[in-house]
Amino acid sequence: MALMQIRDLNKSFGGVHATAHVNLEVTEGEVHAIIGPNGAGKTTLISQLSGELLPDSGEILFAGRNITKLPMHARSHMGLARSFQITSVFQDMTMLENVALAIQAHQGHSFRFWKPSAKDASLTGPAMEYLAQVGLEDKANSIANAVSHGEHRQLEIAMALATEPKLLLLDEPMAGMGQEESSRMVEILGKLKGSKTMLLIEHDMDAVFALADRISVLVYGAIIATDTPDAIRSNEEVKRAYLGEEAA
């Protein structure tokens, strides 16, 4: 069953056709990776999916509903969660508070003025669980701007998970990570495989081939191929598009 359907999506900036007639389907339960050379328009695409950018034309369907023009927070409530390529967390708050905010967003309204949220077990309990899921339980009370880059990326995932999404949009989760940190991230995402549907944008080919069920290749805003990892690995057009960049 297709959880997300992208139909003929287009977006241009001035003369640049950043998203060109993109057609894509994400099946429920799969890990679908999007790869492509730099400048292919991956972040533009994901921004349209998450609601930050409005496409010029085309449709985005999620769980059967047309979400093309739906604002960001509404998409989140429908079950779409996004992690950011450049870490976008609450730097001045603790790791626990970061995740708690994510949980709070999906627990009804926030017009609660009296009880300190730090003492609210319905927030702190689940927040600790999600931190544990990404291996950050020891850092729960650390201020977010005091932890390492890799831990930031893990926090990004924890916050996305905390909104209990049906679909995770992961924008280069491995960005800027060293070998060891990347392996840990692959492990974390690997554990989610099957229970969470993921649309994963990545450059790190080891991670992509370890995790993906299907891969779509984005070049100059257009999808040139969608297939299984092995098929993509041996696809001539894909190899050409990377102009010698290793595709395996």
Partner 1 sequence: MNGSPNMSSRPNPILSAPRWLQIGIVVMALLAVAPPIIAALDQAFWLDVFTRMLILAIAAASLNLILGFGGMVSFGHAAFLGIGAYCVGIPAYYDVYGGFLHIGFAVFFSALYALITGAISLRTKGVHFIMITMAFGQMMFFGFVSLEEYGGDDGLIIYERSNFNGLIDLYDDTTFYYVCLISLAVVLFIINRLVNSRFGMVVKGAKSNERRMGALGHPTYRYRLTAYVVSGAICGYAGALLGNFTEFISPEMMDWTRSGELIFMVVLGGTATIFGPVYGVLAFLVIEEVLSSITTYWHLIFGLLLVLVVLFVRGGIAGLLRGWFSRKKGAV
Contacts with partner 1 by CB under 8 A lie at 50-52, 71-73, 76-77, 81-82, 84, 88-93, 97, 100-102, 104-106, 110-118, 120, 123, 143, 159, 163
Output the smallest distance, CB 102 to partner 1, in A.
5
Q: In 201-240, which positions are buried (b, 16+ CB within 10 angstroms) versus exposed (e)?
A: bbebbebbbbbbebbbbbbebbbbbbeebeebeebeebbe
Output the smallest distance, CB 122 to partner 1, in A.
10
Give the residue from 55, 124, 75, 134 showing the smallest Cα distance to 96: 124
- Which tokens sit at 106? 């999906």
Alpha-carbon gap, residue 201 to 130, rounded angstroms: 22
Alpha-carbon gap, residue 112 to 166, rounded angstroms: 27
Which is closer to partner 1, CB of 169 or CB of 223? Answer: 169
Give the amino acid at 71.
P
Output the smallest distance, CB 234 to partner 1, in A.
37
Which is closer to partner 1, CB of 123 or CB of 188? Answer: 123
Output the smallest distance, CB 62 to partner 1, in A.
14
Which is closer to partner 1, CB of 46 or CB of 223? Answer: 46
Output the smallest distance, CB 143 to partner 1, in A.
7
Give the residue from 236, 202, 238, 248 showing the smallest Cα distance to 85: 202
Which is closer to partner 1, CB of 16 or CB of 118? Answer: 118
Find out whether 124 and 96 touch, Cβ atoms under 8 Å.
yes
Find out whether 68 and 58 touch, Cβ atoms under 8 Å.
yes
CA dihedral 93, 96, 97, 98 (to 10 degrees): 80
Output the smallest distance, CB 163 to partner 1, in A.
6
Output the smallest distance, CB 49 to partner 1, in A.
11
- Which tokens sit at 216? 């779509």
Give the residue from 43, 5, 9, 1 showing the smallest Cα distance to 24: 5
Which is closer to partner 1, CB of 83 or CB of 197? Answer: 83
Which is closer to partner 1, CB of 76 or CB of 182? Answer: 76
Which is closer to partner 1, CB of 14 or CB of 73? Answer: 73
